[in-house]
Structure 1
Amino acid sequence: MIVDYTTLEREPLIATLAGLERDLFGRGSWTTTMIRQELDAPARTYLIDIDSDSDIDHSTAAQPGTLPIRGYAGYWYDGDDAEIMTIGVARQYQGQGIATRLLGGLIGRARTQGARRILLEVRVDNEPALALYRHQGFTTLGRRKHYYQPDNVDAYTMALDLTPHIAGFALPSDGATGGMRHDP
């Protein structure tokens, strides 16, 4: 079940995300402080996939003070572009379509907010993520050398246009030519 992060208890959410970050991203993971700052920053949208078979009951969570979170994803919206900040799915739930649903939810929210496009960076060696983004229509814009630290791994920058681009000019929908002559 996908929920907005603001519907969850803050400290258990932060603790759970920090644990998932360490497991998924190792030395490059966000710290508890970084997660707290990210969630406090303005114009953030985060979606959380909760294991619907588990009650949100801290006594039954895998670790005390954590939530049964399967995945998470979020972006920052600047009034024009939405920048995906992170997507993560717990290892035991990978390959079940959770990242696809989270990304689809982010795309829908970005459209609703009026974003013209979605941008992101992704490790050049993260084949599952690259396949997900390409399947959703993202295209590669460029490459950032040594972007992911401390592993010194390059990143592709990718974008998904959410608004159509008009090349040339378009006639008004009423068929008026605006003074232009059209020979039969």
Structure 2
Amino acid sequence: MTESVSPRLREMRWWDIDPVLELEKELFPEDAWSRGMFWSELAHARGAEATRRYLVAEAADEEMSESGVRVIGYAGLATTGDQADIQTIAVARDHWGTGLGSTLLTELLGAASEFECAEVMLECRVDNVRAQKLYERFGFAPIGFRRGYYQPGNVDALVMRLTTDPDSSSAAGAPSVQGTEIHD
């Protein structure tokens, strides 16, 4: 864990794909996203018909000669109608425990609110207890499993949902957790 850091959050752009892929492969070696997956997601994140929101977190890095910053986290959200799906949240290991994961999740929930989504879904590896605890702090509740979801490791996914209060005007929505069954 590093000292408290004030990262700069900004919209993910195509030139961020290489540093994001490095972090992706380091954190999720068995089921890392491909370059094409990120390109596809970013294609839906621009313009009037945007259905995605992707962010990167940058911090100063004195060892980097060109830009002086490095990507220390990223996150993405996809929407369809009134439902949002958190696609990914990742934080560099040396920034775990700094609150960056919470910051990224807060930004995604704000985007879900801007897209007028009534609920936010996500899948989380069943062995990623650290992430599950983060989501639970934000009001997400487990609603089911997807067997063998993460490949090639054949790891199950815990499906979680946050239902926002339609009368709430807060950016993240006031969680009104309601348990339901998942329908695949």
- TM superposition score category, shorter chain reference: 0.7 to 0.9
Deviation at 1:163, TM superposition (A): 2.4
Equivalent in the alignment of 2:138: 136
Alignment partners' CA distance in 2, 1:124 and 1:27: 14
Alignment partners' CA distance in 1, 2:73 and 2:119: 23
One-letter amino acid of the structure 1 residue matched with residue 9 of structure 2:
V
Structure with the higher helix share, 1 or 2: 1
Equivalent in the alignment of 2:22: 19
Share of identical aligned residues, percent?
36
2:52 corresponds to 1:44: yes
Contact persistence 1:2–1:47 (CA under 8 A): no
Equivalent in the alignment of 2:83: 81
Q: How many residues align?
A: 155
Alignment of 1:101-112 (within 5 A): 101-112=103-114
Equivalent in the alignment of 1:34: 37
Contact persistence 1:18–1:31 (CA under 8 A): yes
> Which 4+ residue blocks in structure 1 deviate beyond 6 angstroms?
none
CA RMSD, Structure 1 to Structure 2 (Å): 2.0
Alignment partners' CA distance in 1, 2:36 and 2:114: 30
Secondary structure at the residue paired with 2:28? helix
Alignment of 1:1-184 (within 5 A): 1-6=7-12, 8=13, 10-11=14-15, 13-41=16-44, 42-51=50-59, 53-54=60-61, 59-60=66-67, 68-164=70-166
Alignment partners' CA distance in 1, 2:39 and 2:65: 20
Secondary structure at the residue paired with 1:86? strand
List runs of 5+ in structure 1 lacking aligned partners.
Answer: 62-66, 166-184
TM-score with structure 2 setting the length: 0.77
Deviation at 1:24, TM superposition (A): 0.6
Secondary structure at the residue paired with 1:68? strand
Alignment partners' CA distance in 2, 1:36 and 1:105: 21
List runs of 5+ in structure 2 lacking aligned partners.
Answer: 1-6, 45-49, 168-184
Structure with greater Cα Rg: 1
